[in-house]
């Protein structure tokens, strides 16, 4: 039994309710304040006046992919073409193939061929759906491209050829990722990994082995390509053990902004097309029916406003079984009619607030006609839609404080974008705690209450009252999972 004392404990039942000491036992909260004075404790944790919240959860990311990024050369902060070329020249002779987080600034296969024509060079774009590669890679995977730019299925073909890792490497990437997440105060993550690396069985086995050593609440989506593997495995839906769940079936409906494949109501500026549908309608319906036959929910990637309309219409026509809910990942653009359609439907939105600072104002130049809503988080909230905060790491840094900042301020370089869509600090905090736990179907997570799990994030300052610049500071004092301190400043 552990006493957590001398802290400000935010229950999140409402904005103002706090406690000052708390007792936990066997991984759960058993009481607060005066009601625990009579108890005898095995351990006492002095919170030293810091602020304790229910554990932060990232509701959509790629844990293995983030671990992979942490182990590779990263171009995220380099936006000059010649600097990138010089950077690659430095490392290609050392055997580095992949360069992560590339923002497309016009590098082509011809540029990469001049660096090396007899070694693979692969620039992984910051959207993680697209690549730019040299001619050597195109020849090896039997693809044609005048510029070396590849997206969606062609990009996946390259990844499948070159991203081959043994079991221990997958485990190491998971460990590296979780260690970083815990340093950001993250106690759990909903991840999409089971298709992209070593397949369902090996990747799931790696998670089991890592989580036997490292506490972390992992909820894994199941890409539709490995659905048959899951069905043959006889693994149950949701709980595999107290740290691991199998969740909804992941489907991609459209593409991304950077590749101009997100499906829009109106054509892209200067182009005749509106984006990409990954599936033909009959193929999609067949897949949805298969998922429903197996009594599973869906998790559908969709970014464009037309894409969102069509996804919602499909989910309305083929709803999940009673008690289940589907997830829509991104929902970056929307229109009023679609939002009204979603009201009352068993749908959860997995949103990425940091996309505001990454995409705005640049994406505004993509549209021949501006969408009705762009990242409309306040509007979604006003229509009683459940939203879960996430980073889509490795696309964004999986620091919930950065996501909360964009929910609250919607600011980049001092400019506020769509101020009417800003939400309160309390609501922003709930998106990474209470609501981020809804997809787990667990009713004892995301608040500080008796009987709830002992997963906590302890910060040096109070999210509800600290100044604006504090969101960019390293505030994590402690990360606690299952009553265990897994990170301490």
pLDDT value of residue 341: 98
- Does residue 311 sit in helix, strand or coil? helix
Q: Which residue has 């693994």 as its token pair?
A: 235
Joined tokens for residue 459: 């910060």
Average pLDDT of the segment spanning 176-184:
99
Is a pLDDT exceeding 90 seen at residue 56? yes
Query: Are 267 and 363 members of one domain?
Result: yes
Average pLDDT of the segment spanning 115-130:
94
Average pLDDT of the segment spanning 149-171:
92
pLDDT value of residue 95: 87
Query: Are 149 and 177 members of one domain?
Result: no
* Residues whose CB falls within 8 Å of the CB of residue 264, separated by 6 or more in sequence, listed in order: 274, 275, 304, 305, 306, 307, 333, 367, 371
Average pLDDT of the segment spanning 65-71:
93
> What is the pTM for the complete model shown?
0.93
Over residues 283-301, the pLDDT tens digits come to 999 999 999 999 999 999 9
pLDDT value of residue 72: 87
Average pLDDT of the segment spanning 345-357:
98
Is a pLDDT exceeding 90 seen at residue 200? yes
Does residue 334 fall inside a structural domain? yes
Single out the residue of 369, 373, 374 nearest to residue 266, CA to CA.
Answer: 369
Specify which residues 186 forms β-bridges with.
56
Is a pLDDT exceeding 90 seen at residue 205? yes
pLDDT value of residue 152: 87
* Residues whose CB falls within 8 Å of the CB of residue 168, separated by 6 or more in sequence, listed in order: none
- Does residue 151 sit in helix, strand or coil? strand
Q: Which residue has 């989910």 as its token pair?
A: 315
With contact defined as beta carbons under 8 Å apart, do 3 and 19 qualify?
no
Average pLDDT of the segment spanning 36-47:
97
Distance separating alpha carbons of residues 309 and 305, to the nearest angstrom: 6
Query: Are 197 and 314 members of one domain?
Result: yes
DSSP 428-479: HHHHTTTGGGGGGT-SS-SS--TTSB--EEEESS-TTTS-GGGGGS--EEEE
Query: How many residues appear in the chain?
Result: 489
Tell me how many domains the chain contains: 2
H-assigned helices in 318-440: 336-342, 355-359, 377-382, 400-409, 425-431
Q: Which residue has 């625990």 as its token pair?
A: 36
Query: Are 147 and 247 members of one domain?
Result: no
Domain end call among 99, 134, 162: 162
Confidence label for 391 from pLDDT (cuts 50, 70 and 90): very high
pLDDT value of residue 197: 87
Domain end call among 162, 180, 205: 162
Least confident of 49-53, 75-79, 341-345: 75-79
Query: Are 270 and 404 members of one domain?
Result: yes
Q: What values do phi and psi take at 25, rounded to 5?
A: -155, 135
Q: What is the pLDDT of the chain when averaged over all its residues? A: 97
For residue 358, what are the domain limits? 57-63+170-447
Distance separating alpha carbons of residues 203 and 28, to the nearest angstrom: 29
CA distances in angstroms from 47 to 6, 186, 249, 453, 463, listed in the order given: 5, 18, 40, 18, 16
Does residue 475 fall inside a structural domain? no
Is a pLDDT exceeding 90 seen at residue 484? yes
Is a pLDDT exceeding 90 seen at residue 120? yes
Does residue 3 fall inside a structural domain? no
Percentage of the chain lying above the pLDDT 70 cut: 100
Does residue 44 fall inside a structural domain? no
Query: Are 205 and 155 members of one domain?
Result: no
DSSP 214-267: S--EEEEEEEGGGHHHHHHHTPPSEEEETTEEEEEEEEE-S--TTTT-S--SSP
Q: Which residue has 């600034």 as its token pair?
A: 105
Average pLDDT of the segment spanning 167-175:
97
pLDDT value of residue 163: 84
Average pLDDT of the segment spanning 382-398:
98
Element (H, E) at 415: strand 415-416
Query: Are 133 and 234 members of one domain?
Result: no
Distance separating alpha carbons of residues 264 and 309, to the nearest angstrom: 10
Does residue 402 fall inside a structural domain? yes
CA distances in angstroms from 88 to 98, 112, 147, 180, 263, listed in the order given: 10, 9, 18, 26, 33
Does residue 359 fall inside a structural domain? yes
Q: Which residue has 């490497």 as its token pair?
A: 169
Domain end call among 162, 193, 213: 162
| CATH classification at residue 104 | 3.10.310.70
Is a pLDDT exceeding 90 seen at residue 246? yes
Query: Are 413 and 397 members of one domain?
Result: yes
Average pLDDT of the segment spanning 364-375:
97
Query: Are 333 and 253 members of one domain?
Result: yes
Query: Are 175 and 152 members of one domain?
Result: no
DSSP 162-208: H----HHHHHHHHHHHHHHHHHTTEEEEEE--TTTSSHHHHHHHHHH
Specify which residues 125 forms β-bridges with.
102
Does residue 18 fall inside a structural domain? no
Average pLDDT of the segment spanning 32-40:
96
Does residue 46 fall inside a structural domain? no
| CATH classification at residue 298 | 3.20.20.140
Query: Are 93 and 239 members of one domain?
Result: no
Is a pLDDT exceeding 90 seen at residue 93? no
Query: Are 144 and 233 members of one domain?
Result: no
């Amino acid at each position: 039994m552990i006493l957590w004392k001398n802290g400000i404990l935010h229950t999140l039942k409402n904005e103002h309710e706090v406690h000052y000491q708390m007792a936990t036992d066997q991984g759960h909260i058993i009481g607060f304040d005066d009601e625990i004075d009579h108890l005898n404790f095995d351990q006492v944790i002095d919170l030293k006046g810091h602020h304790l919240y229910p554990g932060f959860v990232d509701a959509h990311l790629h844990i293995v992919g983030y671990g992979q990024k942490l182990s590779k050369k990263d171009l995220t902060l380099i936006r000059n073409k010649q600097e990138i070329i010089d950077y690659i020249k430095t490392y290609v002779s050392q055997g580095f193939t992949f360069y992560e987080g590339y923002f497309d600034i016009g590098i082509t296969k011809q540029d990469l061929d001049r660096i090396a024509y007899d070694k693979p060079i692969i620039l992984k774009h910051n959207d993680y759906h697209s690549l730019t590669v040299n001619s050597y890679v195109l020849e090896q995977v039997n693809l044609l491209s005048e510029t070396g730019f590849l997206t969606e299925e062609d990009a996946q073909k390259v990844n499948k050829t070159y991203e081959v890792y043994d079991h221990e490497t997958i485990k190491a990437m998971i460990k590296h990722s979780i260690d970083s997440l815990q340093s950001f105060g993250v106690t759990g993550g909903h991840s999409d990994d089971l298709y992209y690396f070593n397949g369902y069985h090996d990747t799931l086995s790696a998670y089991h082995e890592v989580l036997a050593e490292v506490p972390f609440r992992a909820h894994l989506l199941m890409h539709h390509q490995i659905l048959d593997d899951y069905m043959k495995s006889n693994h149950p839906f949701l709980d595999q053990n107290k740290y691991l769940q199998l969740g909804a079936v992941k489907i991609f409906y459209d593409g991304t902004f950077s590749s101009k494949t997100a499906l829009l109501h109106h054509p892209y500026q200067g182009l005749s097309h509106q984006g990409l549908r990954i599936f033909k309608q009959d193929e999609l319906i067949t897949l949805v029916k298969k998922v429903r036959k197996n009594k599973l929910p869906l998790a559908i990637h969709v970014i464009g406003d037309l894409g969102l309309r069509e996804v919602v219409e499909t989910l309305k026509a083929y709803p999940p079984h009673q008690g289940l809910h589907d997830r829509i990942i991104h929902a970056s653009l929307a229109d009023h009619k679609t939002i009204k359609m979603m009201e009352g439907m068993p749908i959860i939105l997995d949103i990425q607030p940091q996309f505001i600072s990454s995409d705005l104002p640049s994406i505004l130049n993509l549209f021949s006609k501006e969408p009705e809503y762009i990242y409309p988080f306040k509007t979604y909230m006003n229509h009683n839609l459940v939203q879960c905060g996430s980073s889509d790491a490795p696309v964004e840094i999986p620091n919930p404080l950065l996501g909360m900042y964009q929910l609250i301020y919607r600011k980049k370089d001092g400019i506020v974008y769509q101020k009417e869509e800003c939400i309160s600090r309390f609501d922003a905090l709930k998106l990474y705690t209470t609501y981020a736990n809804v997809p787990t179907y667990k009713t004892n997570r995301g608040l500080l209450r008796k009987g709830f799990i002992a997963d906590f994030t302890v910060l040096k300052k109070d999210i509800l009252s600290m100044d604006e610049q504090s969101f960019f500071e390293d505030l994590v004092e402690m990360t606690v999972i299952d009553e265990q301190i897994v990170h301490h400043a």
